[in-house]
A and B are shown apart, each in its own frame.
Chain A
């Protein structure tokens, strides 16, 4: 390129482009016309083409250290570890307020009420050792199920659950037992304690459910105090508990505190195969630690129970 010629300087980018095969057709013409008249630029073009040749050689030259076999094997191992720890989460609006849904490859690992992003972060922080990423796509399907549930279009959330982050085996047992409570049924902390073979551990059961990592899904709202009081839900959100129970057709009244109206509910004694009117035999005086209550006959029968042969709830249903 002749330093003196402004044409040479102007045409230089097109000349480089031509050498590397990226010039537009009109630029090609321009360069060809110019180099026909300008030997230095002609030489320049050849030099750039030579550089292209060297680059082609560089591509062909075997690269020392390019064997990726070991790196690939290490990657596979780290990926498999990461896969097992990866938790995707999404934040969603719901009729009960903002909710966090988190899931791993094993299933749903957390569903929480979160008033703020800070609170969501604190909740996710409980997933010790997890690699947490936000992914609406990964959690959206669960959210849709949840909306259907909260709007009464669905009565079960039979999702795969990942309880690896339960606080203890004891809590896992409590959560498992609670998850068995059917839609429209209510029982007491004491009953769950009996269910898991620890009848004196009522308080521990209440604690375990206080830290329920997935309310609604594991229906701790169906567990009440032995007097029927709606106590301890998501900190102080007893009204949410009432809403969820109302959705399921469980009658709730105010007797000082919010209470399930056990006089208006069908009753199952321990693990019997029948359900009774609330007035059957000794039932009215019996503590809730031995009873499960149902909001309607339909709910009791959906749980696989037959009408009691003595009080005959099928012949004398309660007026609703």
Chain B
């Protein structure tokens, strides 16, 4: 049927436009390529089942993030499982030593940020990743996390505070105050 074919193509376009980004988001959250593979597939299979019910002007990207985020939260539900995932991802704070050159310093600082992110409460980490690494609007993040845009913003800011505090003992060579 032509009508069915057209809808199939429409979903193809959704996959083409968003799969890579959703996968990247899931790699960032799970720290496991194989988990991200599974969860991204599940995200799009769920989306396929439900996309016909979407309003024509719906924000498909935000909606996909919401599905992926829910799957992540289920995935990590249970503290034990989460700890195992973190251990497997090698998410220990990287040691900071000596006076390395700028490049290495940056890498180490990056690892430090990674470690702080991994240790964040899940909602803060999800909110931070959606906002700061994928540029989602706060209302979309709120919809993903079942909270208000204001609360979503509070999660992001809380994450920023923790990163900022975590960097207290690290020299941020390239970004020292210039005044």
State whether A83 and B8 are in contact (beta carbons under 8 Å apart), knowing that A58-B110, A63-B24 are contacts in the complex.
yes
User: A13 near B: Cβ within 8 Å?
Assistant: yes
State the main secondary structure of chain A at its contact with B. Answer: helix
Q: Which range contains the number of B residues in contact with the other chain?
A: 35 or more
The interface bits of chain B over 127-163 (1 if a CB of A lies within 8 angstroms of the residue's CB, else 0) are 0000011000000000000000000010001001101
Report chain A residues within 8 Å CB of B69. Answer: none
Interface residues of B (CB under 8 A from A): 1, 4, 8, 11, 15, 19-20, 23-24, 27-28, 32-33, 36-37, 40-41, 44-45, 48-50, 52-53, 106, 109-110, 113-114, 132-133, 153, 157, 160-161, 163-164, 167, 172, 174-177, 179
- A88 touching B33, Cβ below 8 Å: no
Return 28 A-B CB contacts under 8 Å, by A number. A46-B179, A47-B167, A48-B164, A50-B167, A50-B172, A50-B176, A51-B163, A51-B167, A53-B175, A54-B163, A54-B175, A57-B110, A61-B110, A63-B28, A64-B33, A66-B24, A68-B23, A68-B40, A75-B40, A75-B44, A78-B41, A79-B11, A79-B44, A105-B8, A133-B49, A135-B53, A137-B52, A137-B53
Q: Which range contains the number of A residues in contact with the other chain?
A: 35 or more
State the main secondary structure of chain B at its contact with A. Answer: helix
Chain A residues 233 to 264 lying within 8 A of chain B, measured CB to CB, are none
- B4 touching A71, Cβ below 8 Å: no
CB distance from B8 to the nearest CB of A (A): 6
Report chain B residues within 8 Å CB of A199. Answer: none
- A63 touching B27, Cβ below 8 Å: yes
Report chain A residues within 8 Å CB of B163. Answer: 51, 54-55
CB distance from A180 to the nearest CB of B (A): 21
State whether A47 and B164 are in contact (beta carbons under 8 Å apart), knowing that A54-B113, A63-B24, A138-B52 are contacts in the complex.
yes
Q: CA separation between A79 and B16, bound complex, in Å?
A: 13
Report chain B residues within 8 Å CB of A17. Answer: 157
Report chain B residues within 8 Å CB of A59. Answer: 132-133
Report chain B residues within 8 Å CB of A147. Answer: none
- A46 touching B177, Cβ below 8 Å: yes
Report chain B residues within 8 Å CB of A53. Answer: 172, 174-175
Q: CA separation between A135 and B52, bound complex, in Å?
A: 7
